[in-house]
Amino acid sequence: MLVLVLNCGSSSVKFQLIQTSPEAIEAGTEKKLARGNIEKIGMTTAIVSFQAEGKPPVKETPVILEHRVAIERVLTLLTDPQVGILKSRNEIGAVGHRVVHGGEKFSKSQVITEEVYRQIVECCELAPLHNPHNVRGYEIAHELLPDVPHVAVFDTAFHQTMPEYAYIYGLPMVVYRRHGIRRYGFHGTSHRYLTWRMQKLLNKPASEFNLITCHLGNGCSITAVERGKSVDTSMGFTPLEGLIMGTRSGDLDPAVVLHIMAKEELTLHEANTMLNKHSGLIGVSGVSNDMRELVKESQKGNKAARLAIDLFCYRLKKYIAAYYGVLNGADALAFTGGIGENSPLIRSLSCAGLDCIGIQIDPERNEKLNGSEGRISPDDGKVGVYIVPTDEEMMIARDTVHAVAGKL
């Protein structure tokens, strides 16, 4: 079956075409036939990049003012005789949609029925910046491809197995009941992919090991996975909680927010943007939100850049140690995401001084394996430390196949 994976953001559409089937998933022989990206939708010119297997890459800058036009463009590219790979859009067997928030209603991926659609729309209240675009993407794709099943894959679903004591905040319970204020967690599809992949690397089923997964990209989160199930994760009600991120503060004394708002006479909007867009690595360093830049600057002796790196790694280390405790010991620790996969320095700093709980990194492996999959802890290390490049699209395609077959 050919699955089109769609990820619609506020001004972007990312997509992949994946050839897959229950058998291919079993055998690990799924194939990516095409991938692409449309950015800057609604701006003066959009940026389209696309490549199908064995075909020349496409880079163009048309005017795309709307998601509908963008998704139509996706289908046109896929069926283009020169650069595309399909004869007709009818060859697409199903569409998998990334949906950020599934609230408490969805603990696994779902074929989108009218009822499911209604419930996803209800979740817009919890993720007003993301879900509306995901919903819009589905509505358009459903109109353009009305005869195939559409499946929603939620970022929050994997974390629905967290126990109550891990997801309830120490606040009056009435705010949970009235407004759904609780910890939901995000990046679930990535943490789940890592869990699945570690079965191959450790050569045993997920039910037989405990795992800590670190997704370190633009947004960062860490998850404690107990025998295949998420039991705690660092992001909470929104993606702001937990680790230090590129532009987000992560954990904070909530009184600080109230105090700053009073002192600087900030509006809700200004306070929100400060925490989400002006904090984290960029806020502390004043240099960049890009870890590669910070490492370079730090090597040149920039103290603010070094401080940002130290904060980032220290916070991460605290979480790793805490989740080790939550799990009563972990068999493995996996790094993924732009930073997790590509920064030997961050991996080594955040694991430094954790040999007390059996976490060690082999410096040579850490450098040599950078960017690719494999073990970076020494052979006799008690906890296996791994790099596992994530693949959320593959996971969405898999879920789509399974959901359509009714096997989720």
Partner 1 sequence: MIREVGVVGAGETGRGIVQSAAGAGINVVFCETSEERVAEAIAAITAVLDHEIERWGLTKTEKTVILSRIRGVTSFEDLKSAPMVIEAVHDDWALKSKVFTALDRVLPPEAILVTNTSSLSITQLAAQTHRPDRVVGMHFLLPVPKRPLVEVVRGLHTSDETVRRAKEFAADINKTAIEVFEYPGFVTTRLILPLLNEAMHVVMEGVASAADVDTAMTLGYNFPTGPLELADRIGLDEVLLWMEQLFRELGDLKYRPCPLLRKMVRAGHLGVKTGRGFFAYDERGKKKKES
User: Looking at 80, 147, 155, 380, which residue is catalytic?
Assistant: 155
Residue 316 CB, shortest distance to partner 1, in Å, is: 24
Q: How far is residue 187's CA from residue 264's CA, in Å, rounded to a whole number?
A: 33
CB of 63 to partner 1, least distance (A): 11
Selected binder of partner 1 within 68, 277, 306, 375 (CB under 8 A): 277
- In the residue annotation, 290 being an active-site residue is answered as no
Cα separation, 327 vs 227, in Å, equals: 9
Neighbouring residues of 32: CB distance < 8 A, sequence distance ≥ 6: 16, 17, 18, 19, 53, 393, 394
Tell whether residue 266 is a contact of partner 1 (CB under 8 A): yes
- Which parts of 227-306 are beta strand (E)? 229-233
Binding flag, residue 129, partner 1 (CB under 8 A): no
Strand 92-99 with 47-52, pairing: unpaired
Minimal distance in Å, beta carbon 277 to partner 1?
5
Under 8 Å between Cβ of 301 and 337: no
CB neighbour list of residue 270: distance below 8 Å, 6 or more residues apart: 264
Name which of 10 and 299 has its Cβ closer to partner 1: 10
Structure tokens belonging to residue 133: 């675009």
Q: In this structure, are residues 403 and 377 in contact, taking their beta carbons and an 8 Å threshold?
A: no
> Applying CB under 8 A, which of residues 43, 171, 173, 252 lies at the interface with partner 1?
43
- Which residue of 89, 108, 278, 375 would you call a contact of partner 1, by CB under 8 A? 278
Instruction: Output 219 or 344, the one with its CB closest to partner 1.
Output: 219
Please state the closest distance from residue 279 (CB atom) to partner 1, in A: 9
Cβ nearer to partner 1, comparing 270 with 310: 270
Which residues lie below 8 Å from residue 69, measured CB to CB, with a gap of 6+?
none
87 near partner 1, judged by CB under 8 A: no
Q: Residues near 57 by Cβ (< 8 Å), separated by ≥ 6?
A: 49, 50, 51
Residues of 340-359 as b/e, b for ≥16 C-beta within 10 angstroms?
bbbbbbbbbbbbeebeeebb
Gap between the Cα atoms of 150 and 153, Å rounded: 10
Q: Which is nearer to partner 1, 195 or 247 (CB)?
A: 247
Residue 212: closest CA among 349, 359, 324, 313:
324
From 1-9, 15-23, 42-50, 129-137, give the range in contact with partner 1 by CB under 8 A. 42-50
Site string for partner 1, 48-67 (x = CB under 8 A): -----------------x--
Q: How far is the CB of 339 from partner 1 (least distance, A)?
A: 20
Task: Please list, in sequence order, all residues whose beta carbon lies within 8 angstroms of the beta carbon of residue 63, skipping any fewer than 6 positions away.
Answer: 44, 45, 46
Among 23, 44, 88, 255, binds partner 1 (CB under 8 A): 44
CB of 58 to partner 1, least distance (A): 24
* Alpha carbon of residue 215 to chain centroid: 7
Q: Which is nearer to partner 1, 41 or 388 (CB)?
A: 41
CB of 236 to partner 1, least distance (A): 21
Q: Does 286 bind partner 1 (CB under 8 A)?
A: no
Rule CB under 8 A: is residue 382 a binding residue for partner 1?
no
Q: Rule CB under 8 A: say whether 69 interacts with partner 1.
A: no
Bridge partners of residue 151, in order along the sequence: 96, 111
Residue range at the interface with partner 1 (CB under 8 A); choices 210-218, 272-280, 332-340, 393-401: 272-280
> What is the distance between the alpha carbons of residues 22 and 308, in angstroms, rounded to a whole number?
45
- Pick the closer one to partner 1 by CB: 37 or 107: 37
Q: What distance in Å separates the CA atoms of residue 162 and residue 164, rounded to the nearest whole number?
A: 7
* Footprint (CB under 8 A) of partner 1, residues 223-262: 247
Near partner 1 by CB under 8 A: residue from 271, 311, 326, 369: 271
Q: How far is the CB of 11 from partner 1 (least distance, A)?
A: 9
- How far, in Å, CA of 70 to CA of 52, rounded? 17
Active site positions, annotated: 155
Which residues would be at the binding site for partner 1 (CB under 8 A)? 42-44, 65, 247, 264, 266-267, 269-271, 273-274, 277-278
